Structure 1
Amino acid sequence: MPQLSRFALRPLALAAFLAFGVCSPMSSNAQTTPYVATDGTLLNISAQGEAKRVPDIATMSTGVVTRAPDANAAMRANAEQMAKVVAAIKAAGIADKDVQTSGINLNPTYQYRENQPPTITGYEANNTVSIVVRDIAKLGKILDTLASVGANQINGPSFDVDKKDEALDEARRKAVASAQARADMYAKTLGMKVRRIVSISESGRFAPPMPMARGMVAMKAESDTSVSPGENTLSINLDVVFELAR
């Protein structure tokens, strides 16, 4: 009888060892992955929800490129012309917080001849600022004004939605509804029911800006430059784990 008792205790000791992970190298990993107790079937659904909004802000860059025989002259000419551009930006009502210098460059220009090393023929100075236009209705006029005061580089604009929270919440609701509908379909097909949602994770958000053509503006047109902001799509991706049961 003592031998039988000793053998009967071994399964209990093994169960305690597995439950508490005593001296097990896997115990630290087990703590980072929570265990979900269930007697049903787990179903993982990936769903996306979208919300469309008309953009209300535009981001663009503008600047001045000047060339001169020496570096100092190129920089001085650039500073004078850029001051007019910055003044026009402020006159258009764009706040200081929406104007940011994005690059100042000075580079030599070269002349290349066959079988000879390149020689420096002058210097090119470039000063560029990024601006945010919060009144898109004025964007075309602003573009033309910048060209008229000496901006010979204009890139963009890219359109975006300033306050995204409401649109993203709409996308979230659509994603949850889509995941729920798909889970109900799977459950019905399998002769089961959706018992509960085990977990929800938001894997990302996507709100691509709508770029327009990039290029050089050479002169002011007779009428304001045409600008069409179109529509932006804001997306939310969800991973939802459901528990199914009979």
Structure 2
Amino acid sequence: MLRLKPAFLIAALAGLLVVAPATTAATPDSPTVSATGTGYAEVAPDIAVLRFGVTSRQPNVAAARDEVAAGVGRLLELARSFGIADEHISTAALNVRPDTSWNPETRTQEHRGFIVSRQLSFKLTDISRLGELTERALGLGVTEASPAAFDTSRREALEAEALAAAARDARARATTIATALDAKVGKPLSLSAVGGFAPPQPMLRATMAEADGMGGAETYEPGLIRVEAGVNATFELED
């Protein structure tokens, strides 16, 4: 049975065509067997990206801008108190638009003032403080908060693990087919890989009854990150 070296396997799984040397390659009429394998790897996330927004409605732009600037300043101070480095903090440009409302009596849009908003994002590398940071940010008067986006610093390693598992599964499936036909699986002729990275959505750790006695920060618990991969493989079929 042919054993592929790890480096060679990863290169093949990245989508390269692997063909046996010309002296031993199968002829066009040689029987082959093809199969698709699947594999996955899971890990708890160690990175969370949180996004918040601060919005103000005021009669004039200056007043709205000042209120937003104060809110953004409080969030930046909070992030730094959690040890989040400046390179892990991103702030978008101000968004300014008119604040209007429809008057059904005059059937016209009436100008009420201006809406000013700004978005921020933090990259948190201490997942254990996710709930605390989120709850404290909400307490500072943010007007928008998106679910945390989770990631892992081991993404490349997990992708490799998933691809390797998918390759083994493809060979196992091909072997099942070949065995049913009283044949054996030979050398791999080609390998092509497809896969994806599936980050989880945040979920509550406790049941409703348990959550009654817990603070908001204690109910944040991310799921596992699963990396899935598929491998299409074709092998020589031996008698």
Alignment TM class, shorter chain as reference: 0.7 to 0.9
* Deviation per residue, 1:103-149 (Å, 9 max, x gap): 53112111111252211101111111121111011111111221233
Which whole-Å deviations, capped at 9, do the CAs of 1:127-186 have from their partners, x for residues lacking one?
111211110111111112212333232211122222223322221221111111111111
| Correspondence for 1:207 | 197
Percent sequence identity is 25
Aligned residue number for residue 144 of structure 1: 135
- Measure the CA separation in 1 of the matches of 2:93 and 2:179: 59
In the alignment, what sits opposite 2:73?
83
So what's the TM-score if we normalise by structure 1? 0.75
Question: Looking at CA atoms only, which structure, 1 or 2, has the larger radius of gyration?
Answer: 1
Cα distance, 1:235 vs. partner? 0.9
Query: Counterpart in 1 of 2:219?
Result: 226
User: Alpha-carbon deviation of 1:66?
Assistant: 0.9
- Contact kept? 1:84, 1:150, Cα under 8 Å: no
Aligned to 1:240: 233
1:131 aligns with 2:122: yes
Q: What residue identity is the alignment partner of 1:178?
A: D
Q: Residue type matched to 2:108 in 1?
A: P
Instruction: Report whether the alignment pairs 1:56 with 2:49.
Output: no
- Counting matched residue pairs gives 205
Tell which has more relative contact order, 1 or 2 (C-alpha 8 A, sep 6+): 2
1:112 aligns with 2:102: yes
Show structure 2 runs of 5+ residues with no match: 1-18, 204-213
Which amino acid counterpart does residue 138 of structure 2 have in structure 1?
Answer: A
Q: Secondary structure at the match of 2:217?
A: coil
Deviation string 1:74-95 (CA, Å, 9 cap, x unpaired) is: 1122112211111111111111
Asked if 1 retains the 8 angstrom alpha-carbon contact of 2:201 and 2:223, the reply is: no
1:178 to 165, 169, 173: 169
Shift in alpha-carbon separation, 1:87–1:110, aligned structure 2, 3 A: same
1:44 aligns with 2:34: yes
Aligned pair in 2 of structure 1 residues 137, 111: CA closer, same or farther (>3 Å)?
same
Shift, 1:37, TM fit: 4.7
State the 1:231 CA deviation: 1.4
Aligned-pair Cα RMSD in Å? 2.3
Aligned to 2:56: 66
Q: Residue in 2 aligned with 1:198?
A: 189
Contact 1:144-1:225 within 8 A present in 2 as well: no
Amino acid at match of 2:227: L
Q: How much has 1:72 moved relative to structure 2?
A: 2.2
Asked if the contact 2:170–2:233 (Cα under 8 Å) also holds between the matched residues in 1, the reply is: yes
With the length of structure 2 as denominator, give the TM-score of the two structures: 0.77
